Amino acid sequence: AGTYRVVSTVTDDPNMNRGVRIHGVTVTAAAAPVSDAWYAPAVIALSNRGMVKGDGNGLFHPEEAVSHQEFFTVMGRLFAWLNSGAHDALTEVSEAELSLRLLREYDDWAKAQTWLLSCAAENSKGGTVNLLWDEPDLIDPRGETTRDEAAAVLYQMLNYLGML
């Protein structure tokens, strides 16, 4: 049995930094793995579905740790993809909701998905369910996402959706 290190940060493979053509599909630099990398199909599928997009300049930065706001963005996209209600909420979110004190420290590109995970989900009584491990204003948006944090958000999301 291997050792599970909870405090390790989530990073990507360092070979994912150049564009390639795989099985006749051109993969953009935002999600460009080496064509023979074991993870290439996963990155291509996630990129094609808009879940990973790179840094806005077409770069993936696989050698860097994933920040909280980057992780929340990917998880928010996944949540909206898995849940039509969440997708609708994301398309209807107002500027006022994105200007909440809770989201003040987040970059504009990360606010909608962070809001979706922390403020948009509702329980059966209409109360708000936060799918993060804490309130967003108590989480450093630029801090590195640890394995325990990633597991907690994924668990909360899948549990909320009735998939666990």
Output 2 or 74, whichever has higher pLDDT: 74
Helix pair angle (68-82, 84-92), 10° resolution? 120
* Tokens linked to 158: 């899948």
* Cα–chain center distance at 64: 15
For residues 33 and 63, is the Cβ–Cβ distance under 8 A?
A: no
Each residue of 70-119: pLDDT tens digit?
999 999 999 999 999 999 998 899 999 899 889 999 999 999 999 999 99
Dihedral sign computed on CA atoms, order 159, 82, 89, 50: positive
> Residue 58, CB half-sphere, CA atoms under 13 Å: how many?
5
For the full predicted model, state whether its pTM sits above 0.95: no
Top mean pLDDT of 5-14, 20-29, 63-72, 128-137 is at: 128-137
Averaged confidence pLDDT in the chain: 79
Q: Is the pLDDT score of 52 beyond 50?
A: yes
The per-residue pLDDT for 126 is 86
Percentage of the chain with pLDDT > 90? Answer: 48
| Entry field: residues in the chain | 164
Phi, psi (deg, nearest 5) at residue 84: -65, -35
Rounded Cα distance, 97 and 103, in Å: 9
